[in-house]
Amino acid sequence: MTSRTSISLSALVLACGSTPQEKIATDSSSLLPGMVNVDVTSAQATNGVLLGEAGYLRRVNFMSSYSIDITEVTVSAYKACVRSEMCTEPATDENCTWGIVGQENYPVNCVTWQQARTYCDYRGKWLPSEHEWEYAARFEDPSVHKYPWGMSSANYNTKLNMAVLTDGYQFTAPVGSYSPTGDSALGLQDMAGNVWEWTSSTLCTDTNDECLNCNADSLLDGGWCPGVDFPCQTCGNPQTDPLLNVVFKGGGYNQGMAYSRSAFHYYGDQTYYSPVIGFRCASFPEEE
């Protein structure tokens, strides 16, 4: 049996044909504070971790630890990418945060999936897969983390920005406004509520059994790339099919608690954007 831990990161990078580490090396600003390491040692020791919920459980193996942004990507952070001319400006419809004075520390929203991907690429990172996002939100035992902070929805209006009038914000809130009360076990902020967050994952439906059964062995056979859950071709390739649905996670400011469960996901095609959707990025962990 192949040892997952014996596969070096450099081998993975070669297999994926992309070199996020090289970008990190040439862009010191990507070594920003504000990421946490998601250690997968325990998940590997127990043959993976169950993510999802009843009826939608998936056993997931991660081949390497990774890091993930503590906050949603802010308007201010996104601005640097626009200035570099690598990113394009978000839309400016009603309730979009781009260009609004005083909202630099709000999550950038009204960006398409491709705009989110481009920003993460600019930072030498990647858009997390659904599994990377969900494991980070529910770490380390998903069975006790229905929400990022645990199982209870008590005092929810102090833990996330959602559709209630008593939580202080009708639309988006500055990132971290509900910290530390609503933080995940890893200290991640706004993993429930505020804006939904794009992931790299394509939508796998119940009618697509082959895709749902794309388990750890398939992943090993097909290689593993950061930010990719299912290398199965049956899931489709969003790069070549712009109408393929991709997944976003965590619920938004206009939804209720049911949508903010860490296992829940919704989806849109690559051209979709909304004031209720933003994103955060993942990367390789910083070297010790």
Work out how close the CB of 170 gets to Ca ion at its nearest, in angstroms, rounded to a whole number.
6
Cβ proximity to Ca ion: between 24 and 70 the closer is 70
Work out how close the CB of 54 gets to Ca ion at its nearest, in angstroms, rounded to a whole number.
24
Which of the residues 244 through 263 are near Ca ion (CB under 5 A)?
250
The span from the CA of 267 to the CA of 256, in Å, is 17
Told to check if 69 binds Ca ion by CB under 5 A, we report: no
x-or-dash string of contact with Ca ion, 178-217, rule CB under 5 A: ------------x---x-----------------------
Told to check if 148 binds Ca ion by CB under 5 A, we report: no
Nearest CA to 262 out of 177, 200, 185 is that of 185
- The phi and psi torsions of 233 (rounded to 5 degrees) equal -65, -25
Work out how close the CB of 202 gets to Ca ion at its nearest, in angstroms, rounded to a whole number.
20
Cβ proximity to Ca ion: between 194 and 283 the closer is 194
Classified as helix, coil or strand, 157 is helix
Nearest CA to 64 out of 16, 14, 21, 9 is that of 9
Longest dimension (CA), the chain: 56
Say which amino acid occupies 197: E
Cβ proximity to Ca ion: between 30 and 262 the closer is 262
Give one word for 65, left, alpha or beta, with left for phi > 0 and alpha for psi -120 to 50.
Answer: beta
Which of the residues 152 through 171 are near Ca ion (CB under 5 A)?
161, 167, 169
Work out how close the CB of 240 gets to Ca ion at its nearest, in angstroms, rounded to a whole number.
29
Cβ proximity to Ca ion: between 169 and 266 the closer is 169
Rg (the chain; Cα; Å): 18
Cβ proximity to Ca ion: between 172 and 270 the closer is 172
Work out how close the CB of 191 gets to Ca ion at its nearest, in angstroms, rounded to a whole number.
6
Told to check if 128 binds Ca ion by CB under 5 A, we report: no
Work out how close the CB of 179 gets to Ca ion at its nearest, in angstroms, rounded to a whole number.
12
Nearest CA to 260 out of 252, 270, 268 is that of 252
Which 8-state DSSP code applies to residue 258?
A: G
Cβ proximity to Ca ion: between 26 and 155 the closer is 155
Taking the CA atoms of residue 117, residue 174, residue 141 and residue 135 in that order, the dihedral angle to the nearest 10 degrees is: 0
Give the residues lining the site for Ca ion (CB under 5 A).
Answer: 161, 167, 169, 190, 194, 250
